[in-house]
Each structure stands twice: as C-alpha cells, then as structure tokens.
C-alpha cells in the first residue's frame, strides 16, 4: 500500500468524460495539493499559463476521435511546444503496446490504461511529481549559475585588535542562526569580507551566495536586477532572466550599500521579505523565494530613517542583528599586520621580493588616519611594491593623501565642489585613468564617481 504523505503538486486532468473527471478528482484530492479538471483540451494553453500544473494527465481520445489516439498525440505535441519540460501522462481506454511505445517516444512521461488500478495510478503520479521536483531543482541551479557566472573565491580577514576580536566573537555567536544581519561601517572596512565570513559560518554554508552592490546600479535597473524580468518586459529583454533574489533562493543574498535603494524599491523589497515571494518584471506570476539576507551600508541608516529616506519597517526586517566594523584608525597594530599581509601578496603577484617594511615607514603608517580604511591601505601597499626598487619598503615608498592640509584651510576659503573636482582629478592621475581604482581611492563606488565626473 502507498502511505499518504505531505500533499504536494498540482495536477491538471483533461478528459471529455465528466464521470472520469469526477472520479479522478475525488481519488487524487486527498493525495496532492491541487487538482484541476477540464473537458476541453482547447483550454490547455490557458491552464498551463494560469494554473501552471506540475503534471498533466491527458486523455488520448476525444469525441471526434474515439479510438486512434491521434488527438492525444496532437495535444501532447502542442503542450511540449509550449513547455518542452512539461510532465504529461497519457491515458486511454483503447490501450495497446504500440500506442504506449509511441506515446513515450513522442515525449509523454508515462502511460495509463482505463480502467485504472488505484495503486498503480497513484504510483505513476507520485513518480511523475518527483521527476518534476528534480527537474525544477536542476533548472533553478542552472539559473543560479547563469546569474552568478562566477566561482566563489576565498576570503581572508586579518586582525588581532580588540575591536576585531569583538567582531569575530559575534560572528561565532551567529553561526547557528539564520537571522537577517545588517553590517555597518565606513567605506573600505571590509564589510563584504565580513558578509562572506558570516555566510561560511552559517547553516546555509555551501549553498549559493549571491552578492549585489546597490551603489553601482542605476535606479532604473534596480527592479530587474533584484527581481529579474520576462522576455519582452522591455526593449532589450531578449530572453527571461531570474533576478538576484530568485537566484539566491535556498542560500544567502548580500545587499551591499542597501541605503541606495529608492523608496519604491524599498517597498517592494519589504513585501518580498515579508511574504517570501517575488514577481519578475513583466509578469504577474508569484515566485516563492527563501533567502537569508545580509545587508551593509556605510551611511548612518538611522539618520536616513529620520530624514524619510529609508523605511523604518524595512530597517526592522534587515537588522535582526547589527554588526559594526571598526575603521582602520581604531584597529591599532592591525594596520601593520595588514600592511605586511598585502606586501606578501603583491610581492608574489609582481615577482618583487622584499625583506619587509622599515621602522620609520611603519611609524608613518601607524600615524596616518586612513580615511579610505583597509581598501586604501591595500592600494597604497600595492603602489609601493610596484614603484619601489629597494630591498624593503621605506617611508618614501608610501604616498599618503595630505588630508591634514585641507583641514588647515579657513572655512570661508573652502569650495566643496572645487575640492571634490580636484580630488577626483588627482585620483585619476594617480591611478592612470582607471575608474575602479580611482573610486576605491576616493572611497566611493564606480557609479558615484561616474556620476560626479559627468556633473
């Protein structure tokens, strides 16, 4: 006997015999999630779009063709043209081996004879539902890989300061939870690395990790990037594409610079988090999602709430746990640990061996305020490795930004737009016109840099 399990799956039954439809509806309702019956095969396309069945049970002989089964093959072909992955079970009272073989060769998943045996019918349907579930898992995995199109890289967090020990301790406490996390900290502090550390120490480790930098996406593309789109949703939508949230289902979604979300998009994100469903751009179909959210921002998110720029209800949803990443200037000896780590990394990359960093250079690095944090230190060490010709890096190899000189100017002499323009020009010169490196040096996103340059 087949034991009754959790009701799953949607079945669509097409047969011109009302008694058959009634009998199958009564038989299957206790075993599956939903059953829809119809005597009109002409409505198959409509049902496939609106009902989206997991399995279609299709009669082979309708009133215009009582014996040959050609109508059944016609509708099977039409179903498979609409959805090549459709699971179709053909059913007929005029069964023979030749017809069954032809049905399987034509794309049917299985074949049922009338009158049916209850246990055999249920076993056939359960097998078809399992096939659909496996098919869906493979499809989702392919979609996730298409969206990611990358291989997860290793992460490494360097730090022995008390401030970082507190961060590590909190990450350890979070290892058994699936709660949404909000990471706060200045630009360049390594919020993305902390997000990956949380992911690798979470119950979803090994599942998909999807990252999206909301600071680099124009407002007009937010919705399509987060929720995806259907073919024809807009001019360049040549084919359907799942969004980052759909691709992250089952795993973790990292939303960097979440404060950049516009208010309309914040409302849609809130709905997605609360109801665990999304719909792609250009579609009304609801797609269930199961994601663990890790968000990050470099702004004072509570001030943004007070100003009306960020929804308070969304903040409550994303900050079940808050994690503050200290700026580099508050991490003491971590500055030298990181500098030596980057020296080793870039010495290998550029094949230039160095004995180390001189004492006066270390003092210079420790006394600097590091407005660009770890990212700035990384860039400065890389530049020093490239330009230095000595056996070690000395004080003259480290070119630090003269931030203190700007502080000495009288306020009435300051012109914010001019200072910003000069800073951008200097950064571009130092980076040889490389926008990515210039943006990192300035502590802003590439998109923000491009917008400021355009202005």
Query: Whole-angstrom Cα distance, residue 82 to residue 283?
Result: 17
Q: Are residues 303 and 353 both part of a single domain?
A: no
Q: Are residues 296 and 334 both part of a single domain?
A: no
Residues 6+ apart with CB under 8 A from 228: 240, 241, 242, 243, 245, 246, 278, 280, 281
Convert 48-86 to b/e letters by CB count within 10 Å (16 or more is b).
beeeebbbbbbbbbbeeeeeebebbbebbeebeeeeeeb
Q: Are residues 312 and 336 both part of a single domain?
A: no
- Residue from 336, 144, 176, 396 nearest 248 by CA: 144
Q: Is 149 a member of any domain? A: no
Q: Is 391 a member of any domain? A: yes
Other beta carbons within 10 angstroms of residue 236's beta carbon come to: 7
Query: Whole-angstrom Cα distance, residue 169 to residue 190?
Result: 17
Q: Are residues 192 and 298 both part of a single domain?
A: yes
CATH of the domain at 404: 1.10.8.60
Q: Are residues 344 and 449 both part of a single domain?
A: yes
Q: Which of 324, 340, 373 marks a domain boundary? A: 324
Q: Are residues 346 and 418 both part of a single domain?
A: yes
Q: Which of 286, 304, 324 marks a domain boundary? A: 324
What string of H, E and C letters represents the secondary structure of the chain? CCCCCCCCCEEEEECCCHHHHHHHHHHHCCCCCEEEEECCHHHHHHHHHHCCCCEEEEECCCCCCCCCCHHHHHHHHHHHHHCCCCCEEEEECCCCHHHHHHHHHCCCCEEEECCCCHHHHHHHHHHHHHHHHHHHHHHHHHHHHHHHCCCCCCCCCCCCCHHHHHHHHHHHHHHHCCCCEEEECCCCCCHHHHHHHHHHCCCCCCCCEEEEEHHHCCHHHHHHHHHEECCCCCCCCCCCEECHHHHCCCCEEEEECHHHCCHHHHHHHHHHHHHCEECCECCCCCEECCCEEEEEECCCHHHHHHCCCCCHHHHHHHCCEEEECCCHHHCCCHHHHHHHHHHHHHHHHCCCCCCCECHHHHHHHHHCCCCCHHHHHHHHHHHHHHHCCCCCECHHHCCCCCHHHHHCCCHHHCCHHHHHHHHHHHHHHHCCCCHHHHHHHHCCCHHHHHHHHHC
- Residue from 72, 71, 28, 70 nearest 53 by CA: 28
Please, are residues 164 and 327 in contact by the beta-carbon 8 Å criterion?
no
Q: Are residues 304 and 393 both part of a single domain?
A: no
Q: Are residues 307 and 334 both part of a single domain?
A: no
Q: Which of 277, 298, 324 marks a domain boundary? A: 324
Q: Is 145 a member of any domain? A: no
CATH of the domain at 68: 3.40.50.2300
Q: Are residues 320 and 336 both part of a single domain?
A: no
Phi-psi region of 433 (alpha: psi -120 to 50; beta: other; left: phi over 0): left
Q: Is 260 a member of any domain? A: yes
Counted domains in the chain: 3
Q: Is 147 a member of any domain? A: no
Q: Is 47 a member of any domain? A: yes
Q: Is 153 a member of any domain? A: no
Q: Are residues 375 and 411 both part of a single domain?
A: yes
Q: Is 2 a member of any domain? A: no
pTM above 0.85, yes or no: no
Domain range for residue 48? Answer: 10-139
CA-CA distances (angstroms) from residue 343 to 250, 336, 377, 385, 430?
A: 38, 10, 10, 7, 20
Q: Are residues 293 and 198 both part of a single domain?
A: yes
CATH of the domain at 216: 3.40.50.300
Q: Are residues 193 and 250 both part of a single domain?
A: yes
What does the pLDDT profile of the chain (455 residues) look like in tens digits? 444 446 788 999 998 888 889 999 999 999 999 999 998 888 888 888 888 899 999 988 776 555 566 888 888 888 998 888 899 998 887 766 677 778 788 888 888 888 888 898 998 899 889 888 877 766 766 565 555 544 444 457 899 999 999 999 999 999 889 999 999 999 999 999 999 999 999 999 988 899 999 888 887 788 888 998 888 888 878 888 888 998 899 999 999 999 999 999 999 999 999 999 999 988 888 889 999 999 999 999 999 999 999 999 999 999 999 999 999 999 999 999 999 999 999 999 999 999 899 999 999 999 999 999 999 999 999 999 999 988 899 999 998 877 544 444 444 445 666 777 878 887 777 776 777 777 777 777 776 777 777 66
């Amino acid at each position: 006997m087949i034991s009754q399990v959790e009701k799953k799956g949607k079945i669509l039954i097409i047969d011109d015999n009302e008694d058959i439809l009634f009998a199958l509806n009564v038989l299957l309702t206790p075993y599956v999630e939903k059953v829809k019956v119809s005597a009109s095969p002409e409505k198959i396309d409509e049902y496939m779009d609106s009902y989206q069945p997991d399995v279609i049970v299709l009669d082979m002989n309708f009133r215009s063709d009582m014996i040959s089964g050609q109508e059944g093959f016609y509708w099977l072909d039409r179903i498979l043209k609409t959805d090549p992955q459709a699971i179709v079970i053909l059913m007929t009272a005029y069964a023979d081996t030749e017809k069954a073989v032809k049905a399987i060769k034509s794309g049917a998943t299985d074949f049922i004879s009338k009158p049916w045996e209850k246990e055999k019918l249920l076993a056939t349907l359960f097998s078809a539902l399992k096939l659909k579930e496996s098919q869906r898992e493979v499809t989702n995995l392919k979609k996730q890989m298409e969206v990611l199109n990358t291989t997860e890289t290793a992460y490494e967090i360097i730090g022995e300061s008390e401030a970082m020990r507190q961060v590590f301790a909190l990450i350890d406490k979070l290892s058994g939870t699936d709660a949404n996390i909000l990471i706060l900290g200045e630009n360049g502090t390594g919020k993305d690395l902390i997000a990956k550390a949380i992911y690798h120490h979470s119950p979803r480790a090994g599942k998909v990790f999807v990252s999206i930098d909301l600071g680099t996406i124009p407002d007009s593309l937010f919705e399509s990037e987060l929720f995806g789109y259907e073919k024809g949703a807009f001019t360049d939508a040549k084919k359907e594409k799942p969004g980052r949230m759909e691709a992250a289902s089952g795993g973790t979604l990292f939303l960097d610079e979440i404060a950049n979300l516009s208010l309309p998009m914040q409302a849609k994100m809130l709905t997605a988090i609360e109801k665990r469903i999304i719909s792609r751009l250009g579609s009304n179909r609801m797609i269930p999602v199961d994601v663990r959210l890790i968000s990050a921002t470099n702004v004072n998110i509570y001030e943004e709430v007070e100003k009306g720029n960020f929804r308070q209800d969304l903040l409550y949803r994303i900050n079940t746990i808050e994690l503050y990443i200290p700026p580099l200037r508050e991490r003491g000896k971590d500055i030298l640990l990181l500098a030596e780590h980057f020296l080793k990394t870039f010495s290998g990359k550029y094949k230039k061996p160095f004995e180390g960093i001189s004492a006066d250079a270390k003092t210079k690095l420790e006394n600097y305020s590091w407005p660009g944090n770890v990212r700035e230190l990384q860039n400065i060490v890389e530049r020093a490795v490239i330009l230095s010709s000595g056996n070690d890096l000395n004080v003259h190899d480290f070119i630090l930004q003269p931030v203190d000189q700007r502080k000495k100017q009288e306020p009435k002499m300051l012109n914010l737009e001019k200072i910003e323009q000069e800073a951008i020009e200097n950064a571009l010169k130092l980076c040889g016109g490389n926008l990515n490196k210039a943006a990192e040096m300035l502590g802003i996103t590439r998109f923000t840099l491009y917008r400021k340059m355009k202005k």
